[in-house]
């Protein structure tokens, strides 16, 4: 797929990952419409494109059919990145994952079904659909999929809806299950949280859980490249790719990297102990590493390992905040 002159809708395009996708599409000559309710996204993330002849921003919600239909008009590719980004949010508001993930995705699919032009969907899913996988690295065909959070469950439900719509209504879709994405413009996740905590108290850092949670981290730049490569070979109906680095690091290692980038010495680490064997919270997957060999066959490979991704992300966030 060539992105030059392509007409693209990016839902959640003013958010963390979505805005980086907008940069990539605009830089390749595409016509981009962003639909974002700005609840977690920001106009600042797409400020450089506002007023550009190939760019438009719709401050609206995927749950509003009329707004979605207007934003999708004449679009050919829909990149659906709008979602609740915070796994822990369901602990206090279980409805948020259903509304912002499942219901919103159903609305996008339904408008695509009615559209004459929007027939290709790219969807940002997550490694949390695997739950506590017994096979590491975890391949796309691992099963059964048993997510342990409502966030993971909602994303898996979205994948199922996408599959049904693709098979019944002739849509085509590429689904990306990504690791922990880090980098500039992020306003949630462990790197961002540690920076905020250490600014308040440079001598002590509280870590949720036992600190031994070990996961894969990927810089958002590498993530975007994977998304673009995944769209170059479109499936007949649906294809799924894992996106992540080939290594993992513990939360304790993340804490040390962030402290180092902030030039803080002798930071005392304290641990909440967490729940259910040292998890940071209920639904926290303690160990995650994805098998990315499938998308690597298309020519993609992460340029940075997990530790490098965390370090670069910390530097980027520290420069911007």
Quick one: pLDDT at residue 1?
A: 65
Token pair of 72, please? 């999708």
Q: Is the pLDDT of residue 232 over 90?
A: no
Q: pLDDT digits over 10-54, tens only?
A: 999 999 999 999 999 999 999 999 999 999 999 999 999 999 999
Mean pLDDT of 125-149: 98
Q: Is the pLDDT of residue 307 over 80?
A: yes
Quick one: pLDDT at residue 86?
A: 81
Quick one: pLDDT at residue 83?
A: 94
Quick one: pLDDT at residue 34?
A: 98
Confidence of residue 257 (pLDDT cuts 50, 70, 90): very high
Alpha helix positions (H), the chain: 16-27, 65-72, 95-97, 104-114, 150-169, 190-200, 220-230, 251-261, 293-296, 306-320
Quick one: pLDDT at residue 321?
A: 60
CA-wise closest residue to 284 among 180, 185, 167, 159: 180
Those residues with Cβ within 8 angstroms of residue 198's Cβ, 6 or more apart along the chain or in another chain: 205, 258, 259, 262, 264, 267
Q: Is the pLDDT of residue 247 over 80?
A: yes
Quick one: pLDDT at residue 87?
A: 81
| Cα angle, residue 200 at apex, residues 198 and 202 outer, rounded to 5° | 45
Is 31 a residue of the active site? no
Are the C-beta atoms of residues 226 and 304 closer than 8 Å to each other?
no
Question: Maximum distance among all alpha carbons in the chain?
Answer: 61
CA-wise closest residue to 10 among 21, 24, 23: 21
Q: Is the pLDDT of residue 253 over 70?
A: yes
Looking at every residue in the chain, the average pLDDT score rounds to 96
Counted residue by residue, the chain has a size of: 321
In this structure, which long-range contacts are made by residues 141-149, counting pairs with CB atoms below 8 Å and at least 24 apart in sequence?
148/283, 148/285, 149/87, 149/90, 149/282, 149/283, 149/284, 149/285
Handedness of CA 69, 70, 72, 75 (dihedral sign): positive
Cβ count within 10 A of residue 5: 11
Mean pLDDT of 99-121: 97
Whole-prediction pTM: 0.96
Quick one: pLDDT at residue 126?
A: 97
CA 297 from chain center: how many Å?
Answer: 22
Are the C-beta atoms of residues 47 and 117 closer than 8 Å to each other?
no
Q: Is the pLDDT of residue 308 over 70?
A: yes
Confidence of residue 85 (pLDDT cuts 50, 70, 90): confident
Cβ count within 10 A of residue 114: 12
Choose, from 31, 142, 151, 165, the residue flagged as catalytic: 151
Residue 219: beta bridge partners?
A: 182
In Å, how far are 71, 179, 304, 309 from 219, measured between CA atoms?
29, 10, 7, 5
Token pair of 80, please? 């659906």
Mean pLDDT of 150-163: 97
Domains and CATH numbers, the chain: 7-181+218-243 (3.40.50.720), 183-216+247-288+301-320 (3.90.25.10)
Confidence of residue 210 (pLDDT cuts 50, 70, 90): very high
Residue 207: beta bridge partners?
A: 271
DSSP strand pairing (214-215 vs 249-250): antiparallel
Mean pLDDT of 202-229: 97
Q: How far apart are the first and last CA of the chain?
A: 36
In Å, how far are 62, 77, 293 from 94, measured between CA atoms?
19, 31, 34
Dihedral angle computed from the Cα positions of residues 310, 319, 189 and 196, in that order, rounded to the nearest 10 degrees: 120
């Amino acid at each position: 797929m060539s992105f030059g002159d392509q007409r693209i809708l990016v839902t959640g395009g003013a958010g963390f990952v979505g805005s980086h996708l907008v940069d990539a599409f605009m830089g390749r000559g595409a016509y981009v419409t962003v639909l974002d309710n700005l609840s977690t996204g920001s106009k600042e993330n797409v400020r450089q494109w506002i007023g550009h002849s190939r760019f438009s921003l719709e401050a609206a919600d995927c749950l509003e059919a009329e707004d979605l239909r207007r934003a999708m008009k004449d679009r050919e590719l829909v990149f659906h990145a709008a979602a609740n980004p915070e796994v822990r949010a369901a602990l206090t508001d279980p409805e948020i994952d259903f509304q912002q993930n499942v219901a919103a995705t159903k609305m996008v699919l339904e408008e695509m079904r009615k559209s004459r032009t929007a027939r290709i969907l790219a969807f940002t899913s997550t490694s949390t659909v695997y739950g506590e996988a017994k096979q590491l690295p975890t391949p796309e065909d691992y099963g059964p999929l048993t997510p342990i959070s409502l966030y993971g469950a909602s994303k898996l439900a979205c994948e199922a809806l996408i599959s049904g719509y693709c098979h019944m209504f002739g849509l085509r879709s590429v689904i990306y299950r990504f690791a922990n994405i880090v980098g500039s413009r992020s306003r949630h996740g462990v790197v961002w949280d540690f920076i905020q905590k250490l600014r308040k108290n440079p001598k002590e850092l509280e870590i949720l859980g036992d600190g031994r949670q070990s996961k894969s981290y990927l810089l958002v730049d590498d993530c975007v490249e994977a998304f673009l490569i995944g769209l170059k070979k479109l499936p007949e109906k649906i294809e799924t790719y894992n996106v992540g680095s080939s290594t993992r690091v513990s939360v304790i290692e993340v804490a040390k990297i962030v402290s180092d980038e902030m030039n803080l010495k002798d930071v005392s680490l304290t641990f909440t102990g967490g729940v259910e064997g040292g998890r940071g919270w209920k639904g926290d997957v303690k160990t995650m590493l994805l098998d990315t060999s499938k998308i690597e066959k298309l020519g993609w490979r992460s340029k940075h390992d997990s530790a490098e991704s965390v370090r670069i992300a910390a530097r980027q966030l520290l420069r911007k905040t």
